[in-house]
Structure 1
């Protein structure tokens, strides 16, 4: 298959990225040069896989102050995990999951949702039409359907923002349920060698909520919030 020809002159590499790279070399890479060299020699051995959203406001490495090689991160629209489906289609998230569990042998998988998620809102907002003729996002977010059923749908007097928040939390739980449809996850979780977690990050407040497996409720990750963190709100 021929590669389509460019229709306009190539733009220069963004200055913001070049500047950021220089800052990285002068600061973090300089401080962690030995670690990068070790990772290059020995390979990665992360204990945690994190499935997050593509949203530019929610960077797992920043939120959890992760060092290079500590987390195996997969990001997609609305931090969704499809159910196990052994067919001939292309499955990016499932392939990453298989690699993390069977090759890297991670011990924890975290599904990280967040407030004001555009993918969740796209599903919840009936008035929003497809973004393109292919409607790739529309097809992808059908995975939210079971989570919407679990919530009972949008309440008659419920605001769209309120429903999006409830749906985001329910979708995290649905993705955890979908993870458990993968045989490798079932086996290792049953043996106590793999642990699944749900988390929700409030963009506006910096508050992190964790899913309590016993109550099914999301609770603050830490007992006392930092002084700079605003009161609890899941938005």
Structure 2
């Protein structure tokens, strides 16, 4: 397969370049990891958290799934992979921060708005539909608001609502709430737009997403 051959060529570039250049770091990482930040990010191939935040290997513990969602603790048994990653990050790695990292033009959010995979059968979006049903109440609110006002950007509104929901769901985990209450853990929401490179961070005081200022060259 040509795609896999491209991956192998990428590995060779990595092995003869960055791996050698950061050999001390990789030697240390071989003994274990101690990231201080966990990211819940989307699986979208266009948005790589390590590139956006310019981090080195070992700095972030990353959970990626469709639309960067966190299931509620009450539903965690059915979403064991996501719950296990959160539990490991908080209880074992003792991360200091969890960032729910959304992005603009998210395909999962678009699918939720369109209802494309609602009640879909096997191989037709069955699992996507069940996963995105997690934000159905928020979707209904956004659709209703958009119907009343043509100025509402439903895609953007639901992307933001999904980040807020994931933050709320994180706090439904007893060990997350305990760590946050003890001042050992902070939760943060952010949304990146690949079209213009902007990053908006959720301000807990105003519940608004504010753009991070950047001084560009030239």
Report the TM-score, using the length of structure 2 for normalisation.
Answer: 0.90
Query: Is this contact kept in 2: 1:150–1:170, CA < 8 A?
Result: no
Aligned residue number for residue 78 of structure 1:
67
- Listed one character per residue, the Cα deviations across residues 35-68 of structure 1 (whole Å, up to 9, x for unaligned) are 1111112x10000000000000011111111111
Identify which of 48, 59, 80 aligns with 1:91.
80
Aligned residue number for residue 37 of structure 1:
27
Cα deviation, residue 18, structure 1: 1.1
Aligned residue number for residue 118 of structure 1:
107
Which structure has the larger Rg over C-alpha atoms? 1
Aligned residue number for residue 68 of structure 1:
57
Please give the alpha-carbon distance, in whole angstroms, between the structure 2 residues aligned to 1:37 and 1:113.
Answer: 32
Q: Does 1:104 align with 2:96?
A: no
Aligned residue number for residue 187 of structure 1:
178
User: What SS does the aligned partner of 1:110 have?
Assistant: strand
When residues 102 and 29 of structure 1 are mapped into structure 2, their CA distance, relative to the original with a 3 A threshold, is same
- Listed one character per residue, the Cα deviations across residues 111-151 of structure 1 (whole Å, up to 9, x for unaligned) are 00001100000000135663735600000001112332554
Aligned residues: 215
Q: Does 1:142 align with 2:130?
A: no
- Listed one character per residue, the Cα deviations across residues 83-109 of structure 1 (whole Å, up to 9, x for unaligned) are 002775451111100000000000000
> CA-atom RMSD, angstroms?
2.2
Cα deviation, residue 203, structure 1: 1.3
5+ long unaligned stretches in structure 2: none
Query: Is this contact kept in 2: 1:146–1:174, CA < 8 A?
Result: no
Query: Is this contact kept in 1: 2:117–2:128, CA < 8 A?
Result: no
- Listed one character per residue, the Cα deviations across residues 21-40 of structure 1 (whole Å, up to 9, x for unaligned) are 11111221111111111111
